[in-house]
Amino acid sequence: MPLGAELGTRYGPRPLVVVSGQGLSRADGVNLARRIASVEPVTDLRPNVEWRRRRDLDALVAAGVAAGGEVSRRMIEELRLACRKERRSLARKTAHRVLFEILREISSERPVVHLTTNIDGIGSAIAAGEMGAFWPALHEPARLGEVRVGLLRVLEGGNGFVHLPLHGEAALVVSGEGALRTFYGAPSSLSEDGPWQSTLELGIGGDVETIEDRLEISRYGYHVFRSLIRGEPVGARGEPLPAADLLVIGYAAASRPAKRRFPFERIASDWLEGVNEHRQRLDAILLESPENAASRRWFTNLGFRVTSHRLGELPARLRQILAI
């Protein structure tokens, strides 16, 4: 049965949680790791990065931030420039468009929450900028309290579409007062409500394993993820809902042993190991590649139905799984 067909139980509409990773962006030709690996200050750091991870965006950003000074500044600026360039070609981001068009349609009958670990901002630009998903920081400064209120409104109303960037974004900055804002210039050039800091420095610039300790939007986003897949209330005011169906797109979970301690892997395995008592749908879509073999095994062992796609096939696979 397609994911869009399961509308819920007698307790109310069953939410749909969609988690996307770099595989979604790479399906649309976006490879930020390759882009910053060629930036001179970052190339000098590559000997300090384990050779298996020299194409790993998280590892490269962490090395750049750890180096500090001009290396960190140049790397983050390069990422902002690359993401700004990608925003000028949104019409060609077919995989993103297919996904968010379908999620928008599904959200008329059930709550849909899209969580992304991508930092390129493409998901925010299309989901919130064009498809009506709730993510207020795309348009103007927004505090986390506004995000909480909007998400609860969708869950309590039984329909609607919410988008949250779990790991921050290249163009997402946060003020000392906790306001979030999408800004493609240097954070230091913002004077009001400052000082502002890049969410990359606070987020994947450290250890992703502990990102919830440093980045408030990450802590809240993973709380939402944990609560929804368990069927627990989101926040003090929230009401319990049926455990959410879960679709994971292009996220190479547990691709190496250390990644099993990342928030997504930790939360999913803590809940899903053993009997799937809520009978929620669990789907994962991964690129057909030897590099994804460990991820495929991890998802399969947790009870996911894993679908593979070749280059260029992701939009078609999304239409099949999310058909309504």
Would you say 6 and 324 are in contact if contact means Cβ atoms under 8 Å apart? no
Rg of the Cα atoms in the chain: 19
Instruction: Report the C-alpha gap between 273 and 248 in whole angstroms.
Output: 17
Surface-to-core class of residue 148, CB atoms within 10 Å of its CB (0-12 exposed, 13-18 middle, 19+ buried):
middle
- Higher-confidence position of 182 and 64: 182
Q: Report the share of the chain in percent with pLDDT over 70.
A: 89
Per the prediction, the chain carries an average pLDDT of 86
Summarize the confidence of residues 198-210 as an average pLDDT: 84
Q: How far apart are the first and last CA of the chain?
A: 10
- What are 269-282's pLDDT values in tens digits? 998 876 556 578 99
Q: Are 53 and 280 in contact (CB under 8 A)?
A: no
Chain centroid to CA 102: 17
Domain spans, the chain: 3-29+91-169+206-321
Q: What is the pLDDT of residue 9?
A: 44
**pLDDT attached to residue 8:** 45
What pLDDT, in 10s, does the model give residues 40-92? Answer: 767 777 676 666 666 777 777 777 777 778 777 788 888 888 888 888 888 88
User: For the chain, percent helix, then strand, then coil, each to nearest 5?
Assistant: 50, 15, 35
Confidence class for position 11, pLDDT limits 50, 70, 90: very low
Percent of the chain with pLDDT over 90: 51
pLDDT band, very low/low/confident/very high, at 236 (cuts 50, 70, 90): low
Q: Contact at 8 Å (CB) between 72 and 65? A: yes
Residue 10 confidence (pLDDT): 41
Phi, psi angle pair for 201, to nearest 5°: -60, -40
**pLDDT tens profile 143-166:** 999 999 999 999 999 999 999 999
pLDDT in tens, 286-320: 999 998 999 999 999 999 999 999 989 999 999 88
Q: What is the pTM of this model?
A: 0.90
